[in-house]
Structure 1
Amino acid sequence: MDEIIKIAIVDDDTLFTELLSQFINGQEHMEIVYTATNGDTFLKDYKTLTATILLLDLRMDDGSGLDVLKELKKEAAAIKTIVLSTFYRRSFLGQMMKLEANAFIPKDIEPEELVTVIETVHKKEHYFLKEQLEIMRLQLSKKVPEFTVESKDALTSRETDILKLLCQQFTTKEIGEQLFISPKTVETHKTNLLLKTGVKNTAGLVIYAIQNKIVSADDLLLLDR
């Protein structure tokens, strides 16, 4: 990977931040460009940052990670957020998705897997742990209201094909190559998918696809990372 992934860390555990920075800076294609010990400081600075990925702790003494997520969502910020927390709970997944976190992982994740998470979020927008996909599968029961679209807004066969590939975490370029269309055309179809389904991001499209049986959560569990 030739592109340098520029990363910010917001965490009040200075020792953890130092060790994590050393590890990430040791990767040829990654660089820590900013650190802060609280969310308030980050929110004052983030609009001037070159970072494209944020590694964010949930609980800090001054300015919580939740406050940061809420503000970034309100501002429709371009930075992609990986919530990396000691207080990881599977039951928090829904809230993290609602706040549009791009990944939610425990702080004790293996360093090599963290590299994979960062690369995946940078390239493909979202990363789900296998157990999180299983939670999605279990929670999307018949009791959960399904997303619906009016007949005039029904998905076309091409949109359905693109939706399936998005669920498999293919990039815009990769989808274009598979379907022999331009990346711009893929983006147009993705925009139409968001409008028709009423969801806001790729994670919402994944849920829509599972609920409407376009893809199976069990199939997603088998995807190679």
Structure 2
Amino acid sequence: MEHLKIKIGIVDDDLLFVQLLKNYIENNDRYQVVLTSTGGHHFLTEQASNPLDILILDLRMTNGDGLEVMSALSQHTTETKIIVLSSFYRRSFMGQMLKMGAHAFLSKEIELEELVSVINAVYHNGHYFSNEQIDVMRGQLSNKLPEFHAFSKNELTEREMDVLRLVCQQLSTKEIADSLFISPKTVETHKTNLMIKTGVKNMAGLVIYAVQNNIVDPNEIVLFDK
């Protein structure tokens, strides 16, 4: 049986960059670029009829920037995972990008081969952090930061805590299910409950919650192995 392709959208106001990236990505038969746009406003009018698994999004664009796109998408329930790919990359912006709903934040200086690895990591694991980003988050996560969750860690069930720890190991839903001897559907239910209880929007937010609440040691977080 033929495997479904991962559906990707690219939004960037550099048309040449969009075309080159589209051609490179589609050299891998696991991916299909189903939507491209040179501005956020155009993308938002087209994306409803083109459901995406992954959105590769620039930050600075004249016709609707990346922040506008993320803000608009956050108003709706969507399975699309957002990879922000920008020349305006700063490690210190990592927290803001996660808060806005990004699942990965990358510089345009990234190698194309590595970008494809990140796409794969985000699709299967829900997020991607580099070593330097983990270091930044270690510095940013302190007792002075405001709590941004609705439930305390004591109100999470033991099984939810198990799932949360495995999410921080970047295991896929199937791998978590196999590890805990439960069904993938049950894992997804636990993930949904975790996001509701912690008040975060994505898997990356769950990792930050786990570090902030001393559920996992930041040094033990498993990074994606290229």
TM-score, normalization: structure 2?
0.90
Q: Is the alpha carbon distance of 1:217 and 1:19 closer, same or farther for their aligned partners in structure 2, counting shifts above 3 Å?
A: same
Q: Which residue of 1 aligns with 2:73?
A: 72
SS of 2:113's equivalent? Answer: helix
Q: Is the alpha carbon distance of 1:62 and 1:85 closer, same or farther for their aligned partners in structure 2, counting shifts above 3 Å?
A: same
Identity of aligned residues (%): 54
Q: Which residue of 2 aligns with 1:11?
A: 12
Q: Which residue of 2 aligns with 1:180?
A: 181
Q: Is the alpha carbon distance of 1:177 and 1:207 closer, same or farther for their aligned partners in structure 2, counting shifts above 3 Å?
A: same
Letter in 1 for 2:109: D
2: distance between equivalents of 1:27 and 1:58? 26
Check whether the contact 1:102–1:127 (CA below 8 A) recurs between aligned residues. Answer: yes
Q: Which residue of 1 aligns with 2:85?
A: 84
1:40 equivalenced with 2:20 (yes/no): no
Q: Which residue of 2 aligns with 1:163?
A: 164
Where in structure 2 are the equivalents of 1:21-170 lying within 5 Å? 21-145=22-146, 149=151, 154-170=155-171
SS of 2:59's equivalent? Answer: coil
1:211 equivalenced with 2:212 (yes/no): yes
1: distance between equivalents of 2:223 and 2:12? 33
Check whether the contact 1:124–1:171 (CA below 8 A) recurs between aligned residues. Answer: yes
Q: Which runs of 5+ in 2 are unaligned?
A: none
Check whether the contact 1:85–1:107 (CA below 8 A) recurs between aligned residues. Answer: yes
Check whether the contact 2:11–2:55 (CA below 8 A) recurs between aligned residues. Answer: yes
Question: 1:119-139, CA deviations, whole angstroms, 9 ceiling, x for partnerless residues?
Answer: 111112111122111111111
Of 106-115 and 191-200, deviating more is: 191-200
Q: Which runs of 5+ in 1 are unaligned?
A: none
1: distance between equivalents of 2:223 and 2:6? 27
SS of 1:74's equivalent? Answer: coil
- Post-superposition, which runs of at least 4 consecutive aligned residues in structure 1 deviate over 3 A? 145-151, 221-225
SS of 1:84's equivalent? Answer: strand
TM-score, normalization: structure 1?
0.91
TM-fit CA distance, 1:221: 5.7
TM-fit CA distance, 1:159: 1.8
SS of 1:31's equivalent? Answer: strand
Q: Is the alpha carbon distance of 1:212 and 1:110 closer, same or farther for their aligned partners in structure 2, counting shifts above 3 Å?
A: same
2: distance between equivalents of 1:196 and 1:64? 31
2: distance between equivalents of 1:195 and 1:51? 23
Q: Which residue of 1 aligns with 2:199?
A: 198
Check whether the contact 1:133–1:221 (CA below 8 A) recurs between aligned residues. Answer: no
TM-fit CA distance, 1:190: 2.2
Letter in 2 for 1:115: V
Check whether the contact 2:128–2:224 (CA below 8 A) recurs between aligned residues. Answer: no
1: distance between equivalents of 2:191 and 2:160? 8
Check whether the contact 1:40–1:62 (CA below 8 A) recurs between aligned residues. Answer: yes
RMSD value, Cα: 2.1
Check whether the contact 1:134–1:221 (CA below 8 A) recurs between aligned residues. Answer: no
Of 6-15 and 197-206, deviating more is: 197-206
The aligned length equals 224
Letter in 2 for 1:73: S
